[in-house]
Structure formats: C-alpha cells, structure tokens
Amino acid sequence: MERVVENLNRALGGLLDRDPSVYLLGEDVVDPYGGAFKATRGLSTRHPDRVLATPISEGALVGVANGLALSGGKAVVEIMFSDFVALAFDQIVNFAAKSVSMYGHTVPMPVVVRCPTGGGRGYGPTHSQSLQKHFIGVPGLSVYEMSPFLDNASLLELAMADGRPAVLFEDKVLYGQRMHQDGVVDELFGYELVDPESGTTVVSLRDDAPCDCVLIAPGGLSARVLAAARELFVQEEICCRIVVPGRLYPFAVEPLLDLLGSAGLVCVVEDSSAGGTWGTEVATLVYRRLWGRLARPVALLSAADSIIPTAAHLEREVLPQAEDIRDLVIEALRA
C-alpha cells in the first residue's frame, strides 16, 4: 500500500499536471532535496518553472502566493515546520482571509498553506507544536488536516475549490504510515466517506455493532484513537466509532447529527493544548444542535499545558496517547 507521503506527492504532482495556473512554493522544495519530508520530490524536475524554492521567509513566500492568487493564479505553499507558520500569520489572517470579501465583491483566493505539524518524532519545543487552534474562527479562512483515510488528491481539490485560503495541517507521524484503501482498516474496523464536501470519514467496527461512544479526532491522531477503540472493544466490550474530518473548520456537524445523537458518549481529542481550541469549537457545535439528545456531556481531551519536550518519554506525557483516550472513555461512560 502507498505511504501517506507518497500519496501526497502524487496528489501535488497531479494538481500541477492538470492545472498550469498552479505554483508550488517553499523552502528547499526543489530537487534533489524535495522538501524536508520529501513530499515534493521530483516535482520541480517535472515543472521547473512552477515549483520554486524561496528564501527563508515564511511571510514573504505566503505573500507571493497571495499575489499569485489575486492575479488569477493558484498557489500551494509549504511551511517546512508548522511552528514557523506564525511568521506568516499576518499574510494569512490579515491579508489572504480578508481579501475574499473586503473589495466589495467575492474574490477567490486559491491558496493552500501546507504545514507539517505535531510531535511524536522528538523534534522538541520549536518543531513539534500543533497550532490548529490559532486559525479556527477566522472569517474567510478554512482549516484542513490530512488523514490516512482520505486521498490527498481529494483533500487538495476540496481546499482549492473552497474559494477561500486554506491552512492544511499534515501530521508528521503520518508521512511514513500507509494509506488505508477500499474501506478497510484491519480485521476489526472499516471506514466510509460520509461527507464528500468536508472530507469526513467515519471508522466503525466491521460487524456494525451498536455505538457506545463516538470519538472525533483530526487525522494526525487517528492511529492513537484507533488503538484506543480497539482496546476498548477487546477488553471492555465498548464499541466506538471514530469521526475523522478532512476539513476541521468550518466543521461539518450536520451530516453527523444522527450518529452523534444516538451515541452514549461523544469525545473530542486533539493535540493542541487546552483553551480556545478546535475541540471546544466542535463541542460547542454539538451542544448547540444536540442538547436535548445527548446522554452525557461531551468529553474533551487536549494536550497538556506545556511545551513539547524532546525526550520521547516526556513528550508522551504531554500529548494524548491511546491509553489516555481509553481511560477518558471508560471514566466518562461510568460516571
């Protein structure tokens, strides 16, 4: 099976092949290096005039992408590590997102800012953060996250067709993992795309057992959430379904209302530290639409209030692990 980074590379190449107005910009994205995680390997050889290496200035390279979009082009930007997207915050939030509507009529801004994100690789405090929460709720801006359940060609197509600038988070631990195919995860679990417009997939037990708990998590957490769901089923006979949205914001809650409303527990898991997060946004939407049908309060598990340590054992204490998710579900269902 194809690795996630190979799938992403193929998706980027296909986008460049199909659309001559698309540019790919970033630091060290050209061959022979092909990007820090090799997502752009071979693309500059095929499209030397549209895959361009930039100086080390995140603000400048996103600014160039914005200019391309305003002049009728399209741009995919690679930020080498998502931590450094903070240096482009002004161009994303104060320019790209506002340009969609501030000129008196709708202006498409087909810009996708790719952000390799998250911990799990021992890169330490300045190369391991999950900054999704800082882009939630910005008018005119969409937020996406890669997952092993959704082909990246579809994800990029969604982000480009949105008409709004988008930030695409790509959890670094996913790059070396395999894409799931044909609706099959393993001997216990399968998955289904339930909302093509937001790229939301639902992972379920293949015997379609009644659902005790719905776990909502971004793609980067999918392996940990799946491990927790497997252990809950095997050891506790608790049946979980997992919602993995391609588009984090705006979060598409409508297609999930029946599933969420019939569950004994809804639990949201994220790698961002608590406080003003994507998880709280999702919980608020669920409460607003399902207040009278929820059997229990929505449970939320976030990262600890800490920097991300370099040492693996300390990093595990900060970021939610499978056992943390398992314990949260058991405690909430027994409350």
Active-site positions? 127
Per-residue confidence at 25, pLDDT binned at 50, 70, 90?
very high
Per-residue confidence at 208, pLDDT binned at 50, 70, 90?
confident
Map residue 222 onto helix, strand or coil.
helix
pLDDT for the residue numbered 335: 82
Summarize the confidence of residues 30-39 as an average pLDDT: 95
Question: For 3-14, how does the pLDDT look when each residue is reduced to its tens digit (9 = 90+)?
Answer: 999 999 999 999
pLDDT for the residue numbered 303: 97
pLDDT for the residue numbered 117: 97
Say if residue 1's pLDDT is above 90.
no
CATH topology of domain 4-174: Rossmann fold (3.40.50)
Per-residue confidence at 38, pLDDT binned at 50, 70, 90?
very high
Share of residues in the chain with pLDDT > 90 (%): 96
Question: For 57-85, how does the pLDDT look when each residue is reduced to its tens digit (9 = 90+)?
Answer: 999 999 999 999 999 999 999 999 999 99
Rounded CA separation 7/179 (Å): 8
First CA to last CA across the chain, in angstroms?
42
- Indicate the CATH number for domain 189-334: 3.40.50.920
pLDDT for the residue numbered 65: 97
From the list 210, 172, 194, the residue with the least C-alpha distance to 244 is 194
250 alpha-carbon distance from chain centroid: 12
Per-residue confidence at 207, pLDDT binned at 50, 70, 90?
confident
Rounded CA separation 213/202 (Å): 13
Summarize the confidence of residues 250-277 as an average pLDDT: 96
Q: What is the mean pLDDT of the chain?
A: 96
CB 127 within 8 A of CB 215: no
Q: Is the pTM of this model over 0.85?
A: yes
pLDDT for the residue numbered 329: 98
Spell out the domain ranges in the chain: 4-174, 189-334
Query: Residue 273: enclosing H or E segment and its boundaries?
Result: strand 265-273
Q: What are all long-range contacts of 303-306, with beta carbons under 8 Å and residues at least 24 apart?
A: 303/130, 303/270, 303/271, 303/272, 303/273, 303/274, 304/273, 305/273, 305/274, 305/275, 306/273
Topology match between the domains 4-174 and 189-334: yes
Other CB atoms within 10 Å distance of the CB of residue 102: 12
Summarize the confidence of residues 93-103 as an average pLDDT: 94
Least confident residue range of 64-78, 202-216, 253-267: 202-216
